[in-house]
Structures are given as structure tokens and as C-alpha cells.
Copies of this chain bind each other. A is one copy, B any other.
Amino acid sequence: MTGPVVPSRGALRPVGPAQVRLTGGFWGRRQAINGTATLEHSRTWIDRMGWSGNFADPGTARPRGREFSDSEVYKLTEALCWESARPGGVRHDEWLAELTALIGGAQEADGYLHTAWGRPGQPPRYSDLNFGHELYCAGHFLQAAVAGSRTGAAPRLLDIGTRLADHIGAQFADDGFCGHPGVETGLVELYRVTGERRYLDQAAKFVARRGQRTLPEHEFGWQYFQDAVPVRNGEVFHGHVVRALYLAAGAVDVAVETGDEELLQAVARQFDRTLARRTHLTGGMGSRHLDESYGEDFVLPPDRAYSETCAGVATIMLAHRLLLATGEMRYGDIVDRVLHNVIATAVADDGRSFFYAHTLHQRVPTEVVAKDKVQLRFGGGARAPWFEVSCCLNNVARLVASLGTYCVTEDPGGVQLHQYAPMRVEAGGMVLDVDTDYPDAGVVIVTVVDAPPTPRTITFRIPEWATGPQSVFRRIFHSGEQLRLELPMRPRWTFPDPRADALRGCAAVEVGPIVMCAESTDQENGVRLDEVQVDTSVAPEAGAVKGHRTHPADPGWPYQSHRTATERPDPVVVPLLPYHRWARRGPSTMRIWLPVSPS
């Protein structure tokens, strides 16, 4: 049984869902809630919104939801497959049988599958490539079909998938592509499952066609649709973040399978530059609400950070593919950062509400969100049970249900540990038990449960914030022996690049992979977060930093010929908490980046 991403070549081999069992801890708990509460919550809402009903009644001229609502049914289906397959997961056979029948019933005779286009009273198929989302939805279906096949949880999906992919191949043999990438990864994975080269070739065509500005002109520009620059010639990711990252993931898949080293390097180079210049401290991406896009280099406004949850999922998808292709352990760093500061932040403790966008600075108290109301806006509130555009929760669900496959890889010599969690690993010819309280503590103990009588290698990823410790162990391992890694978890100050205008004069605190924040809920004596300046000459302590409370003047015009005096600065202690814990205790303001005292 294999996982979501199974390249036929590459520096490292992925593990299958059965090879890693999360046995508790930070992610084990979340995986359990995901597999029960979140999946049930999602199904309930998808039914209530009528998005599943669109498949039951495909003759409806005006289906409920949006052009991309079909994809939510597919992502839920995919999540149910991974959940059913993971060790300790909950089997969802009945749901999967229902969903398979529902989806299969909506497929047309020629393989086409979408509930909103092409039937009587609906606009023609592929008549709006910019926003139609037909191939985007198909991509998500193909990923679900692959999951159903690989796990055996919903094997009939694969037949629907091949018929859909064959329709796409016929329809788009010569030109055209979707304004929202996503079908590329699905097609390559279908090729990996079936061995049918035509699916890989079609994905390669879709990647190669982009960047000629052939899609219709739109006010968001061709960047938004990933049609401004050929993938191979890009310098940095741009436009709509999720579109950019899904396309990049598909391009890596194509590059790996076709041996196109130039394309692989082009994507890796763009990702590097994006990490160096267009990524928030949390690992989140996106600086513009208008078009859900990257800003220019170093445009990283904390208060308007978009950092969509789906962009976090997509960043992990891309980083994992590059990790497998290149073997460079550093790609695990961004996965670590995104998991603990975007994905962990997204979902409520009960698994039944979530953030769509992740601001790094909440200036006015979050709005109270009703438990039974669909949200039309993406930001400013607490976590919401559902959004009119609810892509994020199902995206998280499919990731978390298959999370074990992102934690570990193997190669002929042994095993690589990329993410630290309590887990039982069967890989690289060994059985290992990993014990850790990471990310709450830095000690990781690996106990060898079983190993062959030949030298094996166990490799630890050392995060970029932790230099020094030995990371590669190669020898004959014996049952019962332990390896110990201790990562330094002392709170540390972090300063931004001087070109990041929106962060000038600020600092943040990090502890291991965790970005800390100050939330109004914890401040004492009526201290407001817009009055605080911190003293970075003093090391941060666990959960608090020292600083001053200022008393800004309030003239009628905010621009003066002198720097506004901050009279009588009072010393204060500013309590901090992990960013992923914010907004869980009622309306609050919050900031990650704290202004630094001028002194």
C-alpha cells in the first residue's frame, strides 16, 4: 500500500500509510480528531450545502455552491481513503461506497465529470477556462481515485478516474488548460498507478502550455492564472498562491517522471527564492486578499497576510516532492514550519471549525462566529464552521490523514526522519519507535525495535534553527538500542530582512519550530498590543518577553515634524503563547511581530 505521492525515481523513496503509525503526541491527537470529528463535520456541511446533492441530481441547471464545489466532495473522499488505511484509523467503507456511487452516477458517457457545466441549461463545457475549475476539480478527483486504489478503500474510483482522464486527453490533445492548476499532479499519479504513459504526457503538455498568455485577459492579470511566464523560465512564484504551488508540484511530478532535470531545477530555484523573499515567518504564503496572491519580493504585511490554509497544504505537497526528488533534508524545514504554524493553527481543538486565511496581526478583536452560519468573508473572525469557499478543511483533512507518509522516507541504505512525532516506523529494513514531545520539547529518542544484521543508516533532519548535533548514524543496529537527539528549544529573538518594509523595527520570538505571538487575552493591567515595545537586549523567557508600554500622543494628524514622544514608558512583561494556540479563548487581538524599543 503506497501513499499520495509515489515517484518512480528520486533520491528518496516515500513510505506507505501502513509504515508509519503516529502513536499520540501533538499530531497523533490531531489525526484522531481529524479522522472522526472533522470528517463527519465536513460530510454534514457538504450535504447541507447541497454540494454532494449536485451529483445525485446532475440535471440541475443551477447546481448549488460554486464552480469548485465538486472538488470538496473529492477531497473528502480522498481523506476518507487515507483515514481508512492508516494504522489505527477509522474505516469509512460505507461512506466511501456511497460517494463512489454518487460520483460515478454523475459521470457522463464520454467520461466528462462536473456537475456545473455542459448539461441542458448550463453553460457549455470548458467555456470559461479562467474560472471554470473543471480540470481543477478533475485533478482532485484523480487524487481521490488514486487514494481509493492504493489503499483499497474505494477501488472502483480508479475506473471513473481513467475514463475522466481519457476524456481530458481527447479534449485537450492539442491546446488549452485550466485557469486553476491541479490536474497535473492527479494525472501523473494516475500514470504512476496505471503505468499508462498518456496520462503523464497529458500532464506534461499542460505544464508546457502555460505562460504564453493564451487565457483570456482579466483584471487580475495572467500572473493570477499562472499564464504570464513559462514554468521553465520563472524566477519566483507569483500570482494566486495555491495555483502557483499546485502547478509547481505538478511540474516536479512531470520533471521527475520524464527525467527533465532542467524543469526540476527551475521549480526548485523558484521555490528557494519564494522562501527567501515571499514567505511569512509562519511559513504561510500570500500577501494580498484581492487576488489571493503573492506580493512582490519582501511584501510581507503581517496584518494583511493572506496565508491561506490551502497554500500551507500546497507548500507541503511541493516541499515533499522536492525532498523525494533531491534528497535535500532542508525541505523538511518548511514542512515543519508550515505544519506547526499554519496547519496546526487552522483547525479548532474540536476539529469542527477552521481558519481560511491566517493573519499574523489581528488589530481589532476577532468577531464572534456563529456555529451554524456559512461565512462569506475569509478573515477577521474566529475559526468558522464553514465558508462559502470551504476548500481548506478538506485539504487539511486529506493531509493529516496521510501525515505519516510525510514524516519519514527510506532509501536503500536506511531511513530518514524528517518530522518528529511519537511513532512506530517500519522502513529502511528496520522497525523503530520514536518517542518525543516535539514540538513542546526538543528531545527525540529513537528505539530500535528490529534491525537486520547489516549496517543501516538512520538520518535525522536538523532544523535550520538548530545547528550542531550529529544527524547521521550508520552502523549495525541492535534491538533495544536507542539514539537520542536533543534540539535546542530555548526561546530566541528573530529579526526580519531589512527590505521587508512592513516588518521594519520589529522582532518576533520563536521556540523550536513554533512561532510565538502576543494575544490580548493574556496581557495584564489593560496593556494594549499597539502600545507595546519590546527590549531585544534581554533574552526572551518561556512565554514572555520584557518591554515597555508607550503612551503615544494623539494629534489630529498622524505625521509630525518630530518623532512622536513616547512619554513615560512603563516597563511591562508581555506574555506570549504559540501562534497556533491563538483565537481559542474568545475575541482577541494578536501580534507576532513586536515593535522594538528604539533604545
Residues of A in contact with B (beta carbons under 8 Å apart): 217-221, 272, 275-277, 279, 281, 288-290, 295-304, 361, 363-364, 376-377, 388, 464-465, 492-502, 504-506, 508, 530, 550, 552, 554-564, 566, 595
Contact = CB atoms under 8 A, between A and B. Distances in A.
Given A301-B301, A501-B303, A501-B361, A495 B559 contact: yes
B552 A498 contact: yes
Nearest to A499: B530
Contacts of A493: 561
A299 B363 contact: yes
B276 A561 contact: no
A494 B296 CA distance: 27
A274 to B, nearest CB: 11
Contacts of A554: 276
B498 A566 contact: yes
Contacts of A504: 504-506, 595
Give the oligomeric copy count. Answer: 2
A221 B499 contact: no
A301 B298 contact: no
Given A290-B290, A501-B502, A464 B595 contact: no
A561 B494 contact: yes
B495 A563 contact: yes
Given A504-B504, A595-B504, A561 B290 contact: no
A497 B296 contact: no
The 10 A-B pairs at the shortest CB distance, nearest first, are namely A219-B376, A497-B558, A505-B505, A504-B505, A289-B290, A290-B290, A495-B563, A296-B363, A494-B559, A276-B556
B495 A561 contact: yes
A304 B303 contact: no
Contacts of A562: 495
A128 to B, nearest CB: 16
Nearest to A504: B505
A301 B465 CA distance: 31
A555 B272 CA distance: 10
A447 B562 CA distance: 37
B560 A494 contact: yes
A70 to B, nearest CB: 21
Residue of A217, A272, A298, A304 with most partner-chain B CB within 10 A? A304
A498 B505 CA distance: 11
